[in-house]
């Protein structure tokens, strides 16, 4: 077959597949055009997930009648002032969106700029362009897309369900609304108003789109390095979700779904949230134009940073410092109180009374003696004064020898999981020692021989020098056995065999220095679990008070090493709601 040039209509349809791969992409391009036009209010109306119809109405600058025909030509744009593609200040700049939509669907543009007596209309259907004609409309632009991909049926048959396409389109508007809080947004999908937002500040916009309860728990983030400014809101460790739905990234005013930023956010939270959970964040970056390339892909949702390592380090470091703030009730997840099981009622009514002890001044865990005995259902203590400087308040009881109850200065009821809390305290102590150069080791009076699979033993022995930094001194002791001479001082009473087996699992897939460093980081969390106060262990009042005070002084104490919450709270309003007293 001889080589030939494709006709313009075919070229446009091929190119349209890159730019407009689904309704959400068309919605994104049209809303970006509206934002670039300086709109103060944008309305998006979807039908059939955007497959049947998309309508975007704005009050922006509009398109002059004499430029409507040019606007739907490929690579025609009014936005690109810098043809070196360095200082791009608009969301769009390629001049591809409108001709791509017009090549794949039926596109109608009705526009009227200020100073023009009336609006004008132009229609493009499968690449066929109509004449510009008068129309009745106010100032701004109205873009209507109908029967998407009717001209490219091969693409249309790969669309997902109407609901899935609607979700994706709504998500695109959600991101854009977050990126421009100063603009009012209204989104309607199949005659249902999804949200209607007035122009507002960034915190109010996040509250409107993330949910007020979620936003109220988020922490203000501000950081700067080498001319790059990072601001926004980030959730505490206790605020996580099953998906990445509540994550927003805006770079130089552009909403992006960038893998580098997603990775940086995940790494920043990896030590404080459970595996499979995702942090909540609305982050905004300002990057010098010469350090950023937005011309990576037609969708413009991925970026190329000149200093990718610096950006990643800025995000990880800033969030790490934020999460290291002392624990406070503001970051606690709401508590859910389940009904007491019938057997618990039976124990209470059988005469199992609360044990009463006076509360005394708190001492450190190293000074406190742990009490053992038959576990009562609950033990109550006289509370010490709940001082304002103690967010977790004063302990009043221990329930099921597992949970510490405290009352905060504002009257909130605080419930602490003693094992989860002490696990975090132990990990942070180990982590601080590791960061200082080496974990403090405790030599064993009698070395311990640990037998394990030959492969696990060999893996540990191959990393003996590195493990010594964790306070573990080991050496070979015949085939499939390891001799332990020292353990971390903080874990001196832990089971050496269990510790080594856990470390062997952590090192199983480590075959590069970077991977090993990451595995050792995870190993610190694994080790912390071996010397923490266990559930079912009875605590004295001074031990409980010491636990609360150490939690308040320890970074990231709101979650344990596995990302589970260490404490919950019940405010007066939440208690009244549980008892049906709301509105009484």
Domain boundaries, the chain: 8-197, 203-325, 330-422+536-578, 438-531
In angstroms, rounded to a whole number, what is the distance separating the alpha carbons of residues 514 and 73? 50
β-pair partners for 232: 221, 283
Q: In terms of Cα–Cα distance, which of 493, 490, 498, 500 is closest to 528?
A: 490
pLDDT, position 546:
84
Sign of CA dihedral 466, 472, 476, 481: negative
CATH code: domain 8-197 is 3.30.565.10
Q: What are phi and psi of 399, to 5 degrees?
A: -110, 130
438-531 shares the fold of 203-325: no
Contact call for residues 547 and 421 (beta carbons, < 8 A): yes
* Answer CATH for 438-531 from 3.30.1370.100, 3.40.50.1700, 3.30.365.10, 3.30.420.40: 3.30.1370.100
In angstroms, rounded to a whole number, what is the distance separating the alpha carbons of residues 50 and 168? 10
Three-class secondary structure assignment of 301-348:
CCCEECCHHHHHHHHHHHHHHHHCCCCCHHHCCECCCCCCCHHHHHHH
Q: In terms of Cα–Cα distance, which of 324, 214, 195, 203 is closest to 280?
A: 214
- φ/ψ region of 437 (left if φ > 0, alpha if ψ in -120 to 50, else beta) reads left
CB atoms within 10 A of CB 499: 23
Contact call for residues 81 and 96 (beta carbons, < 8 A): no
Contact call for residues 46 and 56 (beta carbons, < 8 A): no
The architecture that CATH gives domain 330-422+536-578 is: 2-Layer Sandwich (3.30)
DSSP for residue 48: G
Give buried/exposed letters for 350-372 (b at 16+ CB in 10 A, else e).
Answer: eeeeeeeeebeebeebeebeeee
In a 13 Å sphere around the CA of 144, the CA atoms on its Cβ side amount to 10
Q: In terms of Cα–Cα distance, which of 105, 110, 113 is closest to 54?
A: 105
pLDDT, position 11:
60
The pLDDT tens digits for 78-134 are 544 554 444 555 565 455 778 888 888 899 999 999 989 899 999 999 878 888 999
pLDDT, position 346:
36
In angstroms, rounded to a whole number, what is the distance separating the alpha carbons of residues 128 and 564? 58
Q: Which fold has domain 203-325?
A: Ribosomal Protein S5; domain 2 (3.30.230)
523 by DSSP, 3-state: which? helix
Q: What are phi and psi of 359, to 5 degrees?
A: -85, 140
DSSP strand pairing (413-417 vs 567-570): antiparallel
The pLDDT tens digits for 15-68 are 555 568 889 999 999 999 999 999 999 999 999 999 999 999 999 999 999 888
Rg (CA), the chain: 30
Which two structure tokens, joined as six digits, stand for 18? Answer: 């890159």
Neighbouring residues of 158: CB distance < 8 A, sequence distance ≥ 6: none
| pTM for the full predicted model | 0.63
Contact call for residues 554 and 428 (beta carbons, < 8 A): yes
DSSP strand pairing (281-286 vs 247-251): parallel
In angstroms, rounded to a whole number, what is the distance separating the alpha carbons of residues 173 and 25? 10
Contact call for residues 402 and 418 (beta carbons, < 8 A): yes
DSSP for residue 565: B
DSSP strand pairing (106-112 vs 184-189): unpaired
Helices 513-528, 496-507: axis angle to 10 degrees equals 150
pLDDT, position 223:
94
**The length of the chain, given as a count of residues:** 584
CA distances from 498 to 51, 361, 382, 438 (A): 57, 36, 39, 21
In angstroms, rounded to a whole number, what is the distance separating the alpha carbons of residues 450 and 188? 65
Counting as low any pLDDT under 50, the low residues of the chain are 79-80, 83-86, 93, 329-331, 333-379, 381-384, 386, 510-516
In angstroms, rounded to a whole number, what is the distance separating the alpha carbons of residues 472 and 486? 5
Contact call for residues 548 and 404 (beta carbons, < 8 A): yes
């Amino acid at each position: 077959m001889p080589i030939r040039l494709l006709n313009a209509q075919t070229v446009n349809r091929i190119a349209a597949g890159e730019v407009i791969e689904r309704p959400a992409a068309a919605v994104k391009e049209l809303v970006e055009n509206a934002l670039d036009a300086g709109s103060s209010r944008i309305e998006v109306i979807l039908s059939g997930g955007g497959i049947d119809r998309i309508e975007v109405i704005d009050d922006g600058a509009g398109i002059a009648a004499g430029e409507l025909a040019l606007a739907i030509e490929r690579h025609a744009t009014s936005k690109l002032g810098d043809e070196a593609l360095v200082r791009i200040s608009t969301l769009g700049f390629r001049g591809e969106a409108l001709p791509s939509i017009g090549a794949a669907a039926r596109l109608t543009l009705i526009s009227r700029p200020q100073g023009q007596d009336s609006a004008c209309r132009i229609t493009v259907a499968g690449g066929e362009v109509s004449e510009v004609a008068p129309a009745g409309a106010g100032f701004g632009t109205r873009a209507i897309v109908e029967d998407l991909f009717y001209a490219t049926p091969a693409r249309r048959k790969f669309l997902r369900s109407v609901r899935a396409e609607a979700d994706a389109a709504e998500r695109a508007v959600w991101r854009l609304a977050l990126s421009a809080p100063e603009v009012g947004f209204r989104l309607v999908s199949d005659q249902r108003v999804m949200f209607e937002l007035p122009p507002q500040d960034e915190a109010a916009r996040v509250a409107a789109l993330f949910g007020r309860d979620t936003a109220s728990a988020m922490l203000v983030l501000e950081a700067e390095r080498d001319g790059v400014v990072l601001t926004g809101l980030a959730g505490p460790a206790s605020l996580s979700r099953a998906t990445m739905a509540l994550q927003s990234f805006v770079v130089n005013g552009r909403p992006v779904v960038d893998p580098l930023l997603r990775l940086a956010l995940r790494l920043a939270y990896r030590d404080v949230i459970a595996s499979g959970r995702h942090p909540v964040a609305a982050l905004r970056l300002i990057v010098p134009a010469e350090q950023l390339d937005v011309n990576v892909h037609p969708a413009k949702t991925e970026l190329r940073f000149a200093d990718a390592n610096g950006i990643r380090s800025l995000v990880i470091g800033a969030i790490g410092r934020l999460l290291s703030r002392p624990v406070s009730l503001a970051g606690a997840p709401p508590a859910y109180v389940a009904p007491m099981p019938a057997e618990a009622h039976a124990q209470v009514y059988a005469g199992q009374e609360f044990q009463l002890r006076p509360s005394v001044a708190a001492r450190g865990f190293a000074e406190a003696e742990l009490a053992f005995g038959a576990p009562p259902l609950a033990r109550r203590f006289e509370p010490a004064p709940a001082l304002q400087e103690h967010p977790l308040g004063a302990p009043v009881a221990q329930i099921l020898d597992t949970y510490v109850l405290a009352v905060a200065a504002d009257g909130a009821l605080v419930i602490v999981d003693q094992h989860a809390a002490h696990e975090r305290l132990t990990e942070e102590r180990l982590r601080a020692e590791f960061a200082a150069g080496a974990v403090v080791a405790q030599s064993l009076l009698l070395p311990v021989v640990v037998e394990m699979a030959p492969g696990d033993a060999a893996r540990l022995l191959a990393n003996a020098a590195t493990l010594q930094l964790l306070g573990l001194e080991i050496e070979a002791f015949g085939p499939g056995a390891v001799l332990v001479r020292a353990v971390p001082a903080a874990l001196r009473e832990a089971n050496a065999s269990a510790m080594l087996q856990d470390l062997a699992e952590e090192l199983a897939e480590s075959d590069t220095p970077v991977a090993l460093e990451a595995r050792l980081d995870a190993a610190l969390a694994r080790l912390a679990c071996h010397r923490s106060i266990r559930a079912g262990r009875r605590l004295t009042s001074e031990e409980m008070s010491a636990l609360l005070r150490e939690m308040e002084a320890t970074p990231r104490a709101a979650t344990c090493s596995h990302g589970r919450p260490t404490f919950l709270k019940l405010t007066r309003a939440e208690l009244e709601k549980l008892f049906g007293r709301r509105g009484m």
